[in-house]
Amino acid sequence: MTEAQEGVKQKNPWHRPVILLIAFLMVIGIVALVAIAVVQNKQLPQKLKYGIVLDAGSSHTALYIYQWPAEKQNDTGKVQQLEACKVEGPGISSYSKEVTKAGLALNQCLDKAKEIIPEHQHTETPLYLGATAGMRLLRLQDEQQSQRLLNSVEKFIRLYPFNFQGARIIRGQEEGGYGWITINYLLGNFLKDSGWITQLSGGKDTETFGALDLGGASTQITFVPEGDVEPEESTLYFRLYGTSYTVYTHSFLCYGKDQALKLLLAQRKESVSGTITSPCFNKEYTRNLNVTAFYNTPCILGLPNTTQDIIKVIGEGNAEECRKHVRALFSSTDYTLTSCPFNCVYQPQVQGEFVAFSAFYFVMNFLNLTGKEPLKQMKDTIDNFCARSWNEVKDNFPKTRVKYLSEYCFSANYILILLTEGYNFTSDNLNKIQFMRKIKGNDAGWTLGYMLNLTNMIPAELPSPRSLTHTSYVTLMVIFSLFLLILLLLTLLNSRGLLCRAQKGI
Ligand SMILES: O=c1[nH]cnc2c1ncn2[C@@H]1O[C@H](COP(=O)(O)OP(=O)(O)O)[C@@H](O)[C@H]1O
Ligand SMILES: [Ca+2]
């Protein structure tokens, strides 16, 4: 050993352990980097799974195909809608007199599902059919007939190779609850970030959004209230991803927009000439109602007192008056199946954000009122639309279905009163409602939540994290890279220091 080297060793007695430590830390850093990259980028088998849900609504049936990666079925937001197929013709409850036709009508959409889903997966693909308020009403009218209809539909669906789980009429509470699950699942509200970092720091729970669903025969409101929920029949308890939710829900049968229109027109007194006037239709609009067919619903107790088979409805186009008629619906006990529907039904104060979908969206979207417009602007827009003559409206919207177009004046006023006087939204919190048809490419509705629940795809507890979120991945990579860089610099500085000292012969 030279004198200089001896000197370095004596003046820097710690240099060897420091270098050893730095080398050791560098090795750890490199191993960590490689481990993170391997975990994050490990090849996951790409098997996809499928599920089918048929939404047998009062006005029409729709078939939804969902798809998800087999290995990630318990993660939130992994299930995606692959296809929505609208079944031709009316809802299945309209086939009560010709039950075999209800199933036949489904064949186009079921054939489409056969084409879309790979053949070798047909038998493992679950298929559910849930019928809503149209069938609830038919069951009230004639329970046996509604069962015959469901049996006939089931028989037809069994001709297909899918793993059919049966056709049933879902309860109003389920319809509300599954709609709430769907929107919050799609918005990612059950779990903001399932990555390691978030979970290690306590896993933040996000506020859920309330769900407002307006169908043809019923409407549902579902949300997590601030205080306690009562009574029991309006309470849903969910444990999802490690969090417990107590949810208020109520479904108003007969208060979907099609049944509500029947209730509204049944209130009107017919004139001697067999006509009724209604402020809820545009001026110059006329419609002939076949009395037996139109009023054939258990929502109306008995047919209106009329001598005619056909009643002519004449529009007056007056939104202010229309709202008075709608208001009367909410307190009337004359015709409604559920007497005293809104004032007597317990509902906690609405709170938080809401998503309003189905007919809420269709109607408000038509009137360009989906941008959280203030109440006054909503009223003005609706008033102006109702005041337009039917001929002008028809000319302006030649592509819109006449059935929908003719009812937008009524539907919009109905929605306004339902929200403000039924559900008690005020001008201050009406802007908490987002009118949406789709969330991230998926239709907002009860079907996705129904399938997630029946296939046990929402775990009660938080699944153990398998890989990192992109943010966590990038953060860890940056931290370890910086760590390695610092070590590298330290090593360089250290060796330069040694060199200098060696050169200076210290
Ligand atoms: O484009 C549209 N414009 C207006 N209303 C629509 C449109 N598409 C569907 N609807 C309405 O949405 C409602 C859907 O109700 P659905 O058939 O789901 O009944 P349900 O949920 O009460 O069983 C019906 O009133 C239907 O007329
Ligand atoms: Ca519906």
152 Cα: distance to centroid of ligand 2 (angstroms): 21
Where are the chain's structural domains?
45-170, 171-191+205-268+326-442
Confirm whether residue 218 is marked as ligand binding: yes
- ipTM of the complex model: 0.99
pLDDT band of residue 1 (cuts 50, 70, 90) is very low
131 SS3 class: strand
Cβ of residue 358 lying under 6 Å from some atom of ligand 1: yes
CATH C-level class of 171-191+205-268+326-442: alpha beta
Residue 363 alpha carbon, nearest atom of ligand 1 = 4
- Is pLDDT at 302 greater than 80 in this prediction? no
pLDDT band of residue 24 (cuts 50, 70, 90) is confident
Cβ of residue 172 lying under 6 Å from some atom of ligand 1: no
Mean per-residue pLDDT, 474-485: 81
Cβ of residue 130 lying under 6 Å from some atom of ligand 1: no
6 Cα: distance to centroid of ligand 2 (angstroms): 88
Confirm whether residue 315 is marked as ligand binding: no
Cβ of residue 74 lying under 6 Å from some atom of ligand 1: no
- How many other C-beta atoms lie within 10 A of the C-beta of residue 132? 31
| Closest listed residue to residue 126, CA positions, set 55, 71, 69, 51 | 51
The answer to whether 443 and 55 are in contact (CB under 8 A) is no
| Closest listed residue to residue 186, CA positions, set 48, 55, 76 | 76
| Closest listed residue to residue 157, CA positions, set 96, 110, 88, 123 | 110
Percent of the chain at pLDDT > 70 equals: 87
Which residues are placed with Cβ below 5 angstroms of ligand 2, an ion?
Answer: 57, 215
Confirm whether residue 216 is marked as ligand binding: yes
Residues 6+ apart with CB under 8 A from 13: none
45-170 architecture in CATH? 2-Layer Sandwich (3.30)
pLDDT band of residue 8 (cuts 50, 70, 90) is very low
Q: What are phi and psi of 383, to 5 degrees?
A: -60, -45
113 Cα: distance to centroid of ligand 1 (angstroms): 23
| Closest listed residue to residue 239, CA positions, set 490, 19, 461 | 461
Mean per-residue pLDDT, 483-496: 79
- Decide if 45-170 and 171-191+205-268+326-442 have a common fold: yes
Mean per-residue pLDDT, 404-418: 98
